[in-house]
Amino acid sequence: MGDVSAPVPEKTTTKKVKAPKPPLEIPADIPHEEDVSYLEGDRKEKADLYLPMNLPEGQKAPALIVIHGGGFNDGDKRKYRELNFCTNAAKRGYLAMSINYKLRKSQAVRWLKLNADRYKIDPERIGAMGGSAGGNVAAMLTLTRPEDGFDNAGSRTNIPAQLVCGVDFYGAVDLMTYHDMKMFAKTREEAPELYRKGSPTSYVREKSPPLLMIHGTGDETVKVEQSQVLRAKLEAAGNACPEYTINNQDEVDALKGKLKGNRHALLLIPKAPHTFDLAVSMKKDGPVMMDITDLVFAWLDQHLKPKTK
């Protein structure tokens, strides 16, 4: 009788789940407060506060709310891009508030105004900056008004939540021409009103608050046409919104004076991909091709800092 082989067990595969990366550390030389509660009730989302540096004696600081990306269902307030935005803001005399969020993003505005005296900020000089999904939110916070019906819940509705200005880095701002969104659980054909309501392009008016858009032409995640549609809407409503293409550092530096005079503008960076920050590189961890920090803050200063005599 021949040998009878033992049955070979079936191979099983175990799907490896990557553990989430811990949040980055805020540099020790930046005064800050971590994981501050800013929402009412038992909401778990927190904020990091980067406190203003180099602020003239007796002057109140402007504030900048920084909104992370992540496709509207992921992300964190302390990723590399948000850290870049916030540390640069603090060094330039801003209080930067980087938020985790799900609902009621405008509560961050109201919280800052409620705590203006405590943190020595000017409640009338608050703006927003965000990248990707955060760019959409920054534009929404900037362009919407109370009559648009957002965020009328809670006990702070007596505090205005409008911003002075906003900066949108490569956000999907016209969802009617974007792909179907998982967060809506419906297609554009099934629920066009949801997509319209979530689009900053729906809230453009004559004399819209200042908005700076920044987009790379090599972006394959959010096509540059998204920002161009919003620019066209602003122009059609009577808001001058020039488009500038910046190819190198010399052109960045030369644009600084001109950009300060624009309420609205679109900056295009040739071949730049998705997710760059104020130090623009063509790939993650790649060499810096140009630094737009001074350019962006020259524009923000024009709208959020007191005019110097």
What residue has token string 């530096």? 253
Mean pLDDT in residue range 28-38: 97
Q: Which domains does the chain have, with CATH numbers?
A: 32-304 (3.40.50.1820)
Instruction: Tell me: pLDDT of 7 over 50.
Output: no
pTM above 0.85, yes or no: yes
pLDDT in tens, 40-79: 878 889 999 999 999 888 899 999 999 999 988 889 999 9
Work out whether the CA dihedral 33, 26, 281, 298 comes out positive or negative.
Answer: positive
Quote the mean pLDDT of the chain. Answer: 91
Give how far Cα 65 sits from Cα of 6, 165, 166, 223, Å: 65, 11, 9, 25
Beta-bridge partner residues of 32: 50
Task: State the burial class of residue 118 (Cβ atoms within 10 Å of its Cβ: 0-12, 13-18, 19+).
Answer: exposed
Mean pLDDT in residue range 101-108: 85
pLDDT in tens, 241-260: 999 999 999 999 999 999 99
